Amino acid sequence: MEDDQNVGPRLARLRQLFGISQRELARRAGVTNGTISGIESSKTSPQIGSLRKILEAFPITIVEFFSMDLQDTEQLFFRRAELVEMGGAGLSLRVVAAQKKTRSLQVTHEHYAPSADTGVHMLSHHGEEAGIVIRGTLEVYLGSQMAVLQAGDAYYFPSSLPHRFRNPGTEECEVVSAATPPSF
């Protein structure tokens, strides 16, 4: 395989970027831990088929594996245009560092148009959520409870509690929230 000298360090860096251990990568790829260790330490050079099998543990192709920049430089600051938009229909959810696949925290800048909400169905997932209303009014439904929050008010709850959010006001509502682990 071309560029054998780079396979081991590239695989090690990719694994670290995704925050998984050698043992976990071996389990996902269906190979031994020794195989991953040998490749990463450049003691073993994998066949193209073996490398493909290992890379199936990541959302990446072989071409991307050899062409992507795996430098240790990590983006620390994000401009407005770099926040990834996840909303729609009167709801803007701009996520900080959404490009970072190994993030363990989700920070979102939310804008709810008047009457906008997260949907009629309650959301529920693993983790915790917190947020603070910056301006406007926000209805927060948590299980059978509901509270109307104003600017300066906040919430914090386990995400396994069925929940939804709605702007009952006549002006836009702005919220900054955090969730762990990321739900999107």
pLDDT tens by residue, 140-173: 999 999 999 999 999 999 999 999 999 999 999 9
Chain mean pLDDT for the chain: 88
Contact 3, 54 (CB under 8 A): no
Could you tell me which of 48, 30, 37 has the C-alpha nearest to residue 11? 37
The radius of gyration computed from the CA coordinates of the chain, to the nearest angstrom, equals 21
Does position 123 have pLDDT exceeding 70, yes or no? yes
CATH 1.10.260.40 placement within the chain: 4-67
Superfamily classification of domain 4-67: lambda repressor-like DNA-binding domains (1.10.260.40)
Read off the tokens for 129: 């959520």
CATH architecture, domain defined by 80-180: Sandwich (2.60)
Predicted model pTM: 0.62
pLDDT tens by residue, 92-115: 999 998 877 778 899 999 999 999
What does 87-130 look like in DSSP terms, one character per residue? -BTTEEEEEETTT-TT-S-EEEEEEE-TT-BS-SSPB--SSEEE
Sheet of 128-135: strand order equals: 84-85, 91-96, 106-112, 173-180, 128-135, 154-158
* Residue 74: pLDDT band with limits 50, 70, 90: confident
d(CA 81, CA 163): 29
* Residue 1: pLDDT band with limits 50, 70, 90: very low
Q: What per-residue confidence (pLDDT) applies to 100?
A: 78
Q: What is the mean pLDDT of residues 123-128?
A: 93
Is the alpha carbon torsion for 76, 172, 181, 20 positive or negative? Answer: negative
